[in-house]
Amino acid sequence: MLVIGAISAQVIGGLFAQMSPFVVAGLMGGRLELSEREAGLVTSIELLTLAITAIVLAPLLPRLPYRRICVAAVALTFLAQVLSILASGWTALVILRSIAGVGEGALYALSLSIVASCANNPEKIFGYFQVVWAVGSVPLFSAGGEITAAYADRGIFTLLAGITLALAPLLLLLPNNRSPEDKSVGSEHQTSSSTIGAMLLAGIFLYIAVAAALYAFSTSMGKRAGLDTVAVGYTLTVATLVGLAGAAAATALNVRWGRALPISAFCFTSAVVAVMLCLWQNSTAFVIAVVLAAILWYFSLPYLFGLAAAIDRSGRWAAAAGSAYLLGYAAGPFLGGAVIASSGYTFLAVVVVALTAASWVLLMVVLNRSMAGRTGVLLKA
The pLDDT-based confidence of 144 (bands split at 50, 70, 90) is confident
Mean pLDDT, the chain, whole residue set: 83
Query: What local confidence, expressed as pLDDT, does residue 377 receive?
Result: 41
pLDDT tens across 32-41, in order?
A: 777 777 787 8
Which stretch, 40-49, 170-179, 234-243, 344-353, has highest mean pLDDT?
Answer: 344-353
pLDDT tens across 297-315, in order?
A: 889 988 898 888 777 766 6
Cβ-based burial of 33 (10 A; exposed 0-12, middle 13-18, buried ≥19)? exposed
Long-range pairs of 249-254 with CB within 8 A, sequence gap ≥ 24: 249/299, 250/123, 250/126, 250/127, 250/130, 250/298, 250/299, 250/300, 250/301, 250/302, 250/303, 251/123, 251/124, 251/127, 251/128, 251/130, 251/131, 251/302, 254/121, 254/123, 254/124, 254/127
Asked whether residue 378 carries a pLDDT value surpassing 50, the answer given is no
pLDDT tens across 11-38, in order?
A: 999 899 888 878 888 888 777 777 777 7
Domains of the chain: 2-380 (1.20.1250.20)
Query: What local confidence, expressed as pLDDT, does residue 217 receive?
Result: 85
Give Cα 335 distance to the centre of its chain: 16
Asked whether residue 184 carries a pLDDT value surpassing 50, the answer given is no
Verdict on whether the full-model pTM lies above 0.85: no
The pLDDT-based confidence of 193 (bands split at 50, 70, 90) is low
| CA 247/CA 130 separation, integer angstroms | 5
φ/ψ of residue 190, rounded to 5: -85, 95
| CA 320/CA 207 separation, integer angstroms | 15
The DSSP line for 92-143 is HHHHHHHHHHHHHHHHHHHHHHHHHHH-S-HHHHHHHHHHHHHHHHHHHHHH
